[in-house]
Structure 1
Amino acid sequence: MIALRLLQPVIAVTLAMALWPGQAAAEDRGHSFKTCSLITAEYLTVLQLASRGLDETTLNASLPDISAAARQRVDSLLALSRKEGLVDTHSRVHSEYAACARQVFTRLGMPEAGTRDSAFHFCAGENRVRYEITLAAVMEAPVEDVKRSLEPQHHAVAEAIYRIFEAEGPLVTFDHLAGELKHCLNDPGA
């Protein structure tokens, strides 16, 4: 895990402005690793489409069969991205995903190996590591310092994230992060 002392100010600000209800409300709703993951994937897809130029009207027109509550979530997410910017909104969604998954783990513990929920748990953990690496890049922490705080299997991931960040900037990095999460959710063994 990346040195949390470097990330605490960013995480505290991000968590203070949550999209999801507070942790107690999340517990009352009985979230699972699956629901945390699917909500996050939906939010990230909306942000990716917004970053490609689709406005609220176009997005709502392209999602005609969604419920009124889902449409309200899309509208709220887009309003937040207009207010805070796409990068900060991406960051908030990833932070909320980590908090949601942590709450599920606290309530339910480790899912049984080989189950679908264990796959969602795996994706949540991998996304958390990638998100922390991205935050470290944003904060200009040296990649070698970041790698020392990671398990060896994540060293190449850290280098790749830093390359994308340095070449393309934070929005493209968060777009890649969203794509990696969705890929994991579709095929957690890949």
Structure 2
Amino acid sequence: MVRLASIARFYLMLATLTPALAAADTTSEQSFETCSMITSEYVTVLQLVAKGFSKSQLTESLPGLSPAAEKRVTTLFDAATASKSALVDTFSAVNAEYAKCSKRVYDRSGRPPPASRESHFYFCAGENKLRYEVLISATLDAPISKVLPQLPTTREPIARAIYDLYHSDGVTAAFDAIGDELKYCLNGQG
């Protein structure tokens, strides 16, 4: 019964977050860049929640929040603190929506030209999706021996590191690390 409640809460949070990601750029269609930047902002808020920031600390310390952005921050905070598992569920919802947002862009415009600005964000979206799927596999107790053959050999060390972190420090720490890796990638360091 608890698992069913978690699943229902996950879909409710996803429904809450989807409009912001789907319509964040109202002047044009989404791009890999907009999907990535919005997700990065959401992940930052969740990382701060995990570190114990209160709702008022978040809204007062994040610079230049518009009323709409402040509403998104408070919505994320409320979703992430609704229950004991809500932070993990919200991290998962944000990562799932990022993958969906990027897929919608890909379905509309395909792979961006190499060496383009969009190509960089396309790469980061793919890397994040891979990390998220590996973490979900770990949380579902899928043996790493079954996961590794599905990945490019160059990504096996990443999968092993995610599994190790999940088993040693837990799912919140693994989501935090995935978020850091996304931000490193977006900043051209990944």
**Alignment correspondent of 2:124:** 123
**Count of residue correspondences:** 180
**Would the aligned equivalents of 2:25 and 2:34 in 1 still touch at CA under 8 Å?**
no
Structure 2, unaligned runs of 5 or more? 1-5
- Contact 2:23/2:30 (<8 A) preserved: no
Question: 1:21 corresponds to which residue?
Answer: 19
Identity %: 43
CA contact (8 A) 1:147 1:155 kept: yes
One-letter amino acid of the structure 2 residue matched with residue 43 of structure 1: Y
Q: Tell me whether 1:112 sits opposite 2:110 in the alignment.
A: no
CA distance in 1, matches of 2:102, 2:7: 15
Structure 1 pair 11–148 and aligned structure 2 pair: CA distance change class (3 A)? farther
Identify the residue that residue 38 of structure 1 maps to in structure 2.
37
TM normalised by structure 1 equals: 0.87
Conserved 8 A contact 2:134-2:147:
yes
Check the 8 A contact 1:134/1:173 in 2, yes or no.
Answer: yes
Relative to the length of structure 2, the TM-score reads: 0.87
State the shift of 1:23 in Å. 9.2
Following superposition, the deviation at residue 66 of structure 1 comes to 1.1
Structure 1 residues 41 and 91: CA distance shift in structure 2, 3 A: same
Partner of 2:97: 96
Q: What is the DSSP-based 3-state SS (H/G/I as helix, E as strand, rest coil) of the residue aligned with 2:135? A: helix
Matches for 1:75-90 after TM superposition, within 5 Å: 75-83=74-82, 85-90=86-91
Deviations 1:24-83 (Å, cap 9, x if unpaired)? 868985110000000000000000011001010111111252111100100111111122
Residue 50 of structure 1 aligns with which residue? 49
Instruction: Give the Å deviation of 1:154.
Output: 1.1
CA distance in structure 2 between the aligned counterparts of 1:12 and 1:152, rounded to whole angstroms: 36
Do 1:23 and 1:103's aligned partners in 2 also have CA atoms closer than 8 Å? Answer: no
Q: Does 1 or 2 have the higher relative contact order (CA < 8 Å, sep 6+)? A: 1
Instruction: Give the gaps of 5 or more residues in structure 1.
Output: 1-9
| Cα distance between partner residues in 1 of 2:92 and 2:174 | 11
